[in-house]
């Protein structure tokens, strides 16, 4: 015969068991991501996600961090600035994510900064090289990749060094385009040259019938095309259809296998600047590690975008590890700022401090890549 006391003890035991089980089930480090998983930049975004997931899956398979597994809650913003802001609000306020991760796009990332600052949430490794995220210091933004300005400056320097004297620039009319254009202007000033022509282009619906004739009329030997994804692909194809054989250079936001595949035969004569090691350089420690993990999952090759995701996830994991058991948003921010000379592999060291969130020092790394993109 069961007494009330016996029933009560059993009920309490069941409750404790349930709480323990529920606690284990909820023992997750929730990370938020909004990015264009569909739309014009989908190819490179999904490659960065695949690269990041290699690291996250490996960490989770070993029990996670301090006994908690990482779960990335991803929301597709289709490369729309308004949707990026809305997604961030949901992830931060409703889903209560611990940190944000690998947003894509300059204006898109800028749109979520107010949410980061209001709620004290770190954004780790935004997939953009906007100078506005580096200077002035953004308290909650922790960059991994270098600035677009350095890439654009280097691109113009490269073209002038190989004898190009008529270099045109096509730039999207948003904060990304304006930012990269500043770098290009530094390159022209350094080379003591003027651009053959500067052509603005709408980010989503560029008018190639207006853009291409200006490039042809300028008799451009090379075109620095500052834009994203399919917008640049279609622009290059329109340029070739007009009979121009101009060398085309675009920035590392387009450094993905998907971008090259979309170009098809038009990839001939296209250079993509690159801020990570050659993904085929098996002598590089980071590349070797990433490819080993990729092959274990049935992936036979890496891309520059997947390497970016891989490196970014390493930084995410290190920040969470340093934040300790049961981390808070504030602890993650503080932990990231303690990272010094963190070796990502292959000679890439990353450091942060309370006054510098720039990330990897790329001073000695060439960022121009060419032939391997011609597939």
The model's pLDDT over 311-326, given as tens digits with 9 standing for 90+, comes to 999 999 999 999 999 9
Spatial strand order in the sheet of 99-101: 69-76, 28-35, 99-101, 123-124, 141-142
Tokens of 257: 């296998």
pLDDT at 19: 37
Q: Which residues of the chain have pLDDT under 70?
A: 1-27, 361-375
Q: Which residue is listed with tokens 């391997």? A: 372
pLDDT at 276: 84
pLDDT at 37: 97
For residue 76, list its beta bridge partners: 35
Cα separation, 20 vs 108, in Å, equals 40
Tokens of 369: 């890549």
Chain-centroid distance, C-alpha 52 = 10
Q: Identify the CA nearest to 53 among candidates 328, 253, 280, 308.
A: 308
The tens digit of pLDDT for each residue in 195-212 reads 999 999 998 899 999 999
Q: Which residue is listed with tokens 């053959």? A: 196
Tokens of 30: 């929730």
Contact 238/208 with Cβ under 8 angstroms?
A: yes
For residue 171, list its beta bridge partners: 200, 226
Cα separation, 253 vs 259, in Å, equals 10
pLDDT at 294: 95
Q: Which residues contact 363 (CB under 8 A, 6 or more apart)?
A: none
Tokens of 175: 């904060």
Can you give the length of the chain in residues? 375
pLDDT at 10: 46
Q: Identify the CA nearest to 254 among candidates 12, 54, 48.
A: 48
Cα separation, 60 vs 76, in Å, equals 24
Cα separation, 47 vs 255, in Å, equals 10
Q: Identify the CA nearest to 150 among candidates 360, 373, 374, 339.
A: 360
pLDDT at 362: 58
Longest Cα–Cα distance in the chain: 98
pLDDT at 370: 44
Q: Which residues contact 292 (CB under 8 A, 6 or more apart)?
A: none
pLDDT at 244: 96
């Amino acid at each position: 015969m069961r007494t009330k006391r016996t029933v009560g003890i059993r009920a309490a035991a069941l409750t404790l068991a349930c709480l323990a089980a529920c606690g284990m089930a909820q023992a997750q480090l929730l990370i938020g991501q909004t990015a264009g998983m569909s739309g014009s930049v989908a190819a490179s975004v999904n490659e960065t996600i695949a690269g990041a997931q290699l690291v996250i899956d490996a960490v989770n398979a070993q029990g996670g961090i301090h006994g908690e597994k990482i779960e990335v809650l991803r929301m597709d913003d289709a490369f729309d600035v308004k949707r990026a802001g809305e997604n961030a609000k949901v992830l931060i306020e409703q889903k209560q994510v611990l940190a944000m991760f690998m947003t894509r796009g300059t204006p898109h990332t800028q749109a979520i900064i107010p949410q980061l600052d209001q709620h004290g949430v770190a954004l780790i490794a935004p997939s953009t090289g906007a100078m506005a995220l580096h200077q002035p210091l953004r308290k909650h933004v922790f960059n991994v990749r270098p600035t677009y300005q350095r890439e654009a400056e280097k691109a113009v320097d490269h073209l002038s060094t190989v004898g190009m004297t008529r270099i045109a620039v096509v730039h999207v009319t948003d904060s990304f385009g304006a930012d990269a254009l500043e770098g290009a202007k530094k390159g022209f000033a350094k080379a003591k040259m003027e651009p053959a022509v500067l052509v603005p282009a709408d980010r989503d619906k560029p008018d190639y019938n207006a853009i291409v004739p200006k490039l042809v009329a300028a008799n451009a030997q090379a075109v620095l095309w500052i834009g994203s994804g399919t917008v640049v692909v279609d622009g290059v194809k329109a340029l070739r259809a007009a009979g121009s054989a101009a060398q085309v250079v675009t920035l590392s936001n387009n450094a993905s296998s998907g971008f090259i595949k979309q170009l098809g035969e038009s990839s001939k004569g296209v250079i993509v600047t690159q801020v990570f090691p050659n993904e085929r350089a098996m002598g590089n420690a980071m590349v070797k590690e990433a490819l080993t993990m990729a092959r274990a999952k049935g992936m036979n090759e890496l891309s520059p975008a997947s390497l970016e995701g891989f490196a970014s996830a390493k930084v995410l994991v290190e920040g969470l590890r340093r934040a300790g058991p049961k981390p808070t948003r504030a602890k993650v921010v503080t932990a990231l700022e303690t990272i010094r000379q963190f070796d990502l592999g292959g000679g890439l060291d990353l450091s942060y401090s309370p006054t510098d969130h720039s990330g990897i020092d790329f001073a000695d790394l060439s960022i121009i890549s060419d032939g391997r993109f011609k597939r």
